[in-house]
Amino acid sequence: MTLDRLIIPREMEGKRLDFALTHLTDLSRNRIKDLLQQQRINISGASSGASLKPSSAVHTGDVFELDIPDTKPTELTAEAIDLDILFEDDYLIVVNKPAHMVVHPSHGHESGTLVHALLHHCPNLPGINGVERPGIVHRLDKDTSGSLVVAKTEETHRKLVELFSTHDIRREYIAWVRGAPTWNHKHIELPIGRHPQHRQKMAVVEQGKIAITDVLVEQRFHDQFSRVRLRLHTGRTHQIRVHLAHHQLPILGDTTYGRLFTPGKQTSQPIRDAIAALNRQALHAEILGFIHPITEQEILCHAPLPVLLKTLDLALSA
């Protein structure tokens, strides 16, 4: 356990408590919120932090005492799983996640996750962003491959979360879809939330959170299929899959947001074989770019396409 004393400087006058403490420490806003709920943050001289809220205003000269508990060691077992590393330094790591790998442990996925592999590769990850999700800043769906960044330190994690929340990060995906739209570019700005009937699915719903996706058609194949490039401006759950399906462009291999699809005999055998071989959705997070939150170096990672998607693209192009 550590006890920190912080004095609010003049430039923080009137700011929210969580904003001020986040900028005066290496802690994230979520961590500050947790400490407040546990009454581990107090104004010096007060008996309890019960009246303090994340939105409480701070004033110049206020002295706060932070009772920070020791990091809880993870109970997860590191697993020697190979990682395709696109970039790594002392602060963060960018990996090319394969399809079928879950990012963090959950019910039914107690082993073999990216977190288990990271714990073997980066032994100091435990404790960052909680026991079950150490260092995880964002995630990719189980059957989506591609670039994913993970923080190695608390400060890096906090600053990467800020980059994602302000959308100061470049995320480009490639998808192969059913349909050949007449337009070349579409800006999709539609809210996404839980499906009203199927709670395991997401949907475009009026009361959902705003989601923004730019879609560029790169190539059309035989007036039946297309390869599209997508740029995310928000990061809602299943955002790309929901937005494309809503515009009648379901991703090949995605049986959640597009029905099981078997091409007819008018489709060439190589294309039929390539689609039949898909055991995943044809979606890949190709590009991840951002300004390194610590070194200020420009990071631009390109995740190579997996063989299955290369084969699909070649078959469609023939």
pLDDT tens digit string along 164-209? 988 899 999 999 999 999 999 999 999 999 888 887 789 999 989 9
- The full set of domains in the chain, from first to last, is 2-68 (3.10.290.10), 85-165 (3.30.2350.10), 170-317 (3.30.2350.10)
Task: Give yes or no for residue 316 having a pLDDT over 60.
Answer: yes
141 is an active site residue: yes
| Cα 195 off chain centre by | 20
d(CA 57, CA 46) in angstroms, rounded, equals 16
Q: Assign 231 to helix, strand or coil.
A: strand
Which residue do the tokens 């986040």 mark?
A: 22
For residue 78, give both structure tokens. 């590191």
d(CA 39, CA 42) in angstroms, rounded, equals 7
d(CA 277, CA 308) in angstroms, rounded, equals 8
Q: Which of 108, 103, 115, 33 is nearest to 74 (CA)?
A: 115
Highest averaged pLDDT of the listed ranges 87-91, 150-154, 164-168: 87-91
State what percent of residues in the chain have pLDDT above 90.
59
d(CA 58, CA 12) in angstroms, rounded, equals 7
From 141, 143, 254, 313, active-site residue: 141
pLDDT at 32: 85
pLDDT at 49: 46
pTM of the entire structure? 0.78
